[in-house]
Amino acid sequence: MKILVCNDDGIYSPGIVALAEVASEFGTVRIVAPNVEQSAMGHAITASRPLSYRETPLNGFTAYRVNGTPADCVALGTHQWDTVDLVVSGCNLGLNIGNSIWHSGTLAAAKQAALLGLRGIAFSAPSGIDDFTALKPWIRRVLDVLVPAHELQLVNVNLPKDPRGIIWTRVSVRHYDGVIVPTNDPLGRELFWFSVKPLEGADEGTDRWAIEQRWVSVTPLRLDLTDEAMLDQSREQRPMDENLAAAVSPPKSSPEAAKEVELSEAAVLPPRVS
């Protein structure tokens, strides 16, 4: 089995070596990771400049550093290595629970794998950990369960400092914990920190609750963000032109119609007329 290892803390983070070491017990490992930290870059991709892919020595692993985002690394890494079976991301220095799943570059690498039809697993640990010795058996136990579970395409794993077990969880997104903190530069001009306010009282069964209770949190995620319940309710209570669309539009569009939309999505400038 070929396992691509990525992260968002940068290729020289201790967390990526720890994850690669455990992953190498399950298959052949290759590391492809950002050359500098890309935390909180989310699922950004680099579409306006080319990317470099440079081999770099890293604890005996085959490793490449990329001047791009975590999602770039997975796209490029799977392009450069045929038939990757699994992408693991991390182990991040900093938890990715609750709202963090929207900002996390660690999770974005796993998401990119899922978008490419591969499987992705993201691992995050508390910030400040530099020795992963105590957490590695827990990463191993999670992979023991997840590697054979082919039905799970995208999974977010968070490890507390001193775990007492592993549980399945759901995402805690009841409150948003982003907070803006004003400050000043040396000349007295106003600046702002975007920071995080700790929340208390997370719901039982959520990722945040699991970490508060010192359980390793394993959350299966999906790419389709559609709110199915609200979609059904909206179609029923606020109908628009669904009936007309069903009457005049075929279930599958023509190749021409599909192509035109594809071109409209591309971030490419129209040809210049001289």
Query: Residue 107 or 147: which CB sits closer to Mn ion?
Result: 107
Instruction: Name the closest residue to Mn ion (Cβ).
Output: 39
Query: Residue 92 or 206: which CB sits closer to Mn ion?
Result: 92
For the chain, what is the HEC assignment?
Answer: CEEEEECCCCCCCHHHHHHHHHHCCCCEEEEEEECCCCCCCCCCCCCCCCCCEEECCECCEEEEEECCCHHHHHHHHHHHCCCCCEEEEEEEECCCCHHHHHCCHHHHHHHHHHHCCCEEEEEEECCCCCCCCCCHHHHHHHHHHHCCCCCCCEEEEECCCCCCCEEECECCCCCCCEEEEEEECCCCCEEEEEEECCCCCCCCCEHHHHHHCCCEEEEECCCCCCCHHHHHHHHHHCCCCHHHHHHHCCCCCCHHHHHHHHHHHCCCCCCCCC
Least distance between Mn ion and beta carbon 34 (Å): 10
Query: Residue 28 or 46: which CB sits closer to Mn ion?
Result: 46
Binding site for Mn ion (CB under 5 A): 8-9, 39, 92
Least distance between Mn ion and beta carbon 113 (Å): 17
Query: Residue 125 or 147: which CB sits closer to Mn ion?
Result: 125
Query: Residue 45 or 167: which CB sits closer to Mn ion?
Result: 45
The residue assigned the tokens 């699994």 is 86
- Angle, CA of 210, 215 and 217, to the nearest 5°: 65
Least distance between Mn ion and beta carbon 115 (Å): 20
Least distance between Mn ion and beta carbon 93 (Å): 6
Least distance between Mn ion and beta carbon 105 (Å): 6
Query: Residue 147 or 211: which CB sits closer to Mn ion?
Result: 211
Least distance between Mn ion and beta carbon 95 (Å): 10
